Copies of this chain bind each other. A is one copy, B any other.
Amino acid sequence: MAPSRVRKEVDAALHAFVDRQRPMLSTLGDDLVPMVTALDALLAGGKRLRPAFCYWGWRGSGGGDCPEIFAAAASLELLQASALIHDDVMDGSDTRRGQPSAHRRFEALHAASGWRGSAEAFGAGAAILLGDVCLTWSDEMFQGSGLPEDALRRGRPVFDVMRTEVMCGQYLDLVGQARGCGVDPRAMVEAALQVVRFKAAKYTIERPLQLGAALAGSGEMAALSAYGMPLGIAFQLRDDVLGVFGDPAETGKPAGDDLREGKRTVLIALTLERSAPAQAETVERLLGDPGLDADGVERLRAIIVETGALDACERMIDRYADEASGALTSAPLTAEARAALSDLTIAATARRV
């Protein structure tokens, strides 16, 4: 099945689910319209990576091509919507997928309506609730996907552990950012990689793939890990590079936004590891400055390149992507799934700058 058809089926399942919720929201009150509008806008974007890996985990383990697996897989997109909405509140991000973030939308609604109190507090509160709704709907959609109950029972432990992992990984990330860099830059790279493992690699690729396989009755979790984990790391490192050097049209975020937010990525850890004292001082001063301008972004980019951190990061991406491709060759999957996953591996990690 072509990637575009997987995406289309996932989208259809997602919209069908949200459409089924609309009447209930209408009975609760017209004031709920902005909630669904904000969700619709968010769901209009996104690459549907997690559903795709879930789908191919299922197909690759002998599962048939049926509407039910698309519903189960698409439920991961609602989990992701919840994580993004809450992330944006925590980071104070203005944009997501090239549009205003959910809390900024609600803030604008408050301002436009001339309501009382703080528009910012209203925006954050409403976005927290919308994220909660998405989190709830994710498991409602999974459990109501129509897959046989024994399939759901097999998939549940993966579904559950995945959710706890991503939230805890996010908390560990918050702690890491608050703690800042220790005296040992080597430990910083390892700490950043640890966050990547839990927050990104497991969540984006390993667990969705294992979920699909578990739903289909496969017990080959370790073999799927051997492919999913390195691919997930490579994917996140690519995302980190794009966050600094990428085209805003592709990332959906203004240039340098990750630098402005002060994200302690592996790329930044590699930079600090390789920095001379003066460079390190500049990085520490500019990184996370909300008012960072184009000049500041350029200075940081220059240091990331000059220290060799960008090259080091690209080599890591290549190494992890190669490891993933190697593991895929011997993974216990159907040939069709292996071919599709090979395409996804390239799409998720290839250079785009």
Contact = CB atoms under 8 A, between A and B. Distances in A.
B172 A128 contact: no
Contacts of A7: none
Interface stretch (A46-54, A136-144, A246-254, A321-329): A136-144
B32 A115 contact: no
Contact of A136 (B31, B164, B169): B164
Interface residues of A, number: 59
Nearest to A176: B31
Contact of A32 (B89, B116, B136, B168): B168
A193 interface: no
A221 interface: no
A115 B181 CA distance: 11
Interface string A119-132: 00110111011111
Contacts of A25: 164, 168
Top 4 A-B residue pairs of the complex, sorted by shortest distance between their CB atoms? A115-B178, A90-B125, A136-B163, A140-B160
A179 B21 contact: no
A25 B132 CA distance: 22
22 contacts: A24-B161, A28-B165, A32-B168, A32-B171, A35-B168, A35-B171, A113-B179, A115-B175, A116-B178, A116-B180, A117-B178, A125-B174, A129-B174, A131-B132, A133-B164, A133-B167, A133-B168, A136-B139, A136-B160, A136-B167, A139-B143, A140-B160
Interface of A: 21, 24-25, 28-29, 31-32, 35, 82, 86, 89-90, 92, 110, 113, 115-117, 121-122, 124-126, 128-133, 135-137, 139-140, 143-144, 149, 153, 156, 160-161, 163-165, 167-172, 174-175, 177-180, 194, 198, 288
Contacts of A288: 117
A29 B126 CA distance: 31
Q: How many copies of this chain?
A: 2
Contact of A115 (B124, B163, B180): B180
Nearest to A118: B178
A128 B85 CA distance: 11
Nearest to A28: B168
Interface residues of chain A: helix, strand, loop or mixed (majority): helix
A156 to B, nearest CB: 6
Contacts of A180: 115-116
A85 to B, nearest CB: 10
Contact of A121 (B31, B90, B133): B90
Nearest to A117: B178
A315 B136 CA distance: 37
A151 to B, nearest CB: 12
A32 B62 CA distance: 38
B174 A122 contact: yes
Contacts of A131: 128, 132
Nearest to A170: B129
Contacts of A32: 168, 171-172
Contacts of A82: 132
Given A90-B128, A129-B170, A144-B160, 9 more contacts: A29-B168, A29-B194, A89-B128, A136-B164, A139-B143, A140-B156, A140-B160, A143-B156, A149-B149
